[in-house]
Structure 1
């Protein structure tokens, strides 16, 4: 580690209410401890003081907010994808258990579905599958 990243212990006095607010915002600030919170707050304030123009300060602030928002959205989407995958797996297991489909038909169905999803860019409609199975197309 370079000397520029060496940490030092520094005692500070902070009003109890400010410390309580900071503790309540640890998750929102995407930090794990008071130390990380204080370090990020100091970097932010130093950036504000050193910024030559208000635009630089606001751009840095906006980038930080957008990064946090995007990370939260990614986490929510990943959790939703997992839940959908579990439900799809359950549905697949029930269908496989209740229908007698031979290996060759399954392979043809797989190839057809891959081609279809590519062609329609993932916008699957139940109605299209229904008409295909009823040979309406």
Structure 2
């Protein structure tokens, strides 16, 4: 059995970084329907979450952002979402351009080699 000191230390170790400020998580009872829990169990790993708690935290933040969509607080929600989307698009485009440039360089090398062979 863990002592209260060990539990307190463990809970302090589970602190989460939020907007540059370290804060402890709050523990509270949550009652959900069995179907909801089954859905969470199925989906949380596919969302790259390490736990059901992380999945539910993300879901709550998402829903709060949805409710705030016509309010000034939306900027706090959308700014990280837009940054993540933009970063993904840029990385994908960068990879496609890199592959295309490599293919062009290979073709250009072959053409210059043939041109040099034709003209000795």
Q: TM-score, normalised by structure 2?
A: 0.49
Q: Larger strand proportion, structure 1 or 2?
A: 2
Bigger radius of gyration:
1
Q: Larger helix proportion, structure 1 or 2?
A: 1
Q: TM-score, normalised by structure 1?
A: 0.45
